[in-house]
Amino acid sequence: MLNVEHIDVHYGDLQVLWGVSLEVKEGEIVALVGSNGAGKTTLIRTIAGLHKPSSGKITYNGNIMNNQSPHKVVTLGISMVPEGRRLFPKMTVLGNLEMGAFLRKARREKDQTLNWVYEIFPVLSERAQQIAGSLSGGEQQMLAIARALMAKNGFLLLDEISLGLSPLLVKIIFDVIVKINKTGISIFIVEQNVPMALKVADRAYILESGHIVAEDVAKKLLNSDHVREAYLGMSPI
């Protein structure tokens, strides 16, 4: 479904990603974990079209995605929940959701999708007329995810959705992510919350200093010595 092949990404002269390759198959949840500054966000933003790779190739369902502008990437079927939510703060909750359904095909099914999204996040239907900037952090994150779902795309990129949320909310949000995945939406997660991401994901990649250093079934990575030592602060088994 989504294939990233040997991409290099630079910020000016500084190289951030080095020959990164990964793959997300239809119906999978794939996690990319790693510490701060490893290049996780750069990678997910490159897939979304917000950065251009200097070499390598990104394909989605056969379409070449590198060098596409972000709005084109959405049109081709990939939606993103950006880091820090990035809601339209002065618009209402409903207004934000409507913007999520901006694509022509999504606009036609807007009311249906809206009902579906309200079913997933009932709190949003209660807050429909409230200004997005006035929501609590957890509600804002729910709205950001709901807004991305409004595009009716088969692929979701999630960038650090646990950031700044209480452990309980993180659990609630990740339960929802699994539920969304069950409806047939493939998901690529970038997370600093390594245990949570590895619990919900089918497969995972570890990114360190711009290189993919490990790739495996998520459960196996969760129990590997490297992950236990470097990310969970535990001693090897």
Partner 1 sequence: MGQTLVYGILNGALYGIIALGIALVFGVMRYLNLAHGSFIILGAYGSLFLFHLGIDPFASIPVLSIVLFVAGAILFKTSFSRLTTFSEGNKIKNSLLLSFGLMLLIENLATLIWTGDERSITPPYSGLTFGIFDLRIPFIGLAGGILALVLISFLHLFLTRTYFGKSIMAVSQDHEAASLMGINVNRTFLISFAISLTLASIPSVLIGLKAFSPTGGIQWFNKGIIVVMLSGIGNIYGVLPAGLFLGIIEAISVFIFGAPYREVTGLALFVLIMILYPTGLFGIRIES
Closer residue to partner 1 (CB): 71 or 220: 71
**Number of amino acids touching partner 1 (CB under 8 A):** 31
Helices (H) and strands (E) in the chain, counts: 11, 10
Closer residue to partner 1 (CB): 53 or 198: 53
Among 6, 71, 179, 226, binds partner 1 (CB under 8 A): 71
Does 136 help bind partner 1 (rule: CB under 8 A)?
Answer: no
Among 18, 27, 56, 70, binds partner 1 (CB under 8 A): 70
Q: Which alpha helices (H) appear in the chain, and where do they start and end?
A: 40-47, 70-75, 93-100, 104-108, 110-120, 122-126, 137-149, 167-182, 194-200, 218-222, 225-230
**How many Å apart are CA 173 and CA 86, to the nearest integer?**
17
Site for partner 1 in 36-65 (CB under 8 A): 48-50
Closer residue to partner 1 (CB): 65 or 222: 65
Among 42, 147, 173, 185, binds partner 1 (CB under 8 A): 147
Does 74 help bind partner 1 (rule: CB under 8 A)?
Answer: yes
Q: Considering only CA atoms, give the Rg of the chain.
A: 17
Length of the chain: 237
Look up residue 224 and give its DSSP letter.
S
Among 134, 166, 183, 223, binds partner 1 (CB under 8 A): 134
Site string for partner 1, 83-112 (x = CB under 8 A): ---xxxxxx---x--xxx-xx--xx-----
**Least gap, CB of 205 to partner 1 (angstroms):** 23
- Which positions lie near partner 1, rule CB under 8 A? 48-50, 69-71, 74-75, 79-80, 82, 86-91, 95, 98-100, 102-103, 106-107, 131, 133-134, 147-148, 151
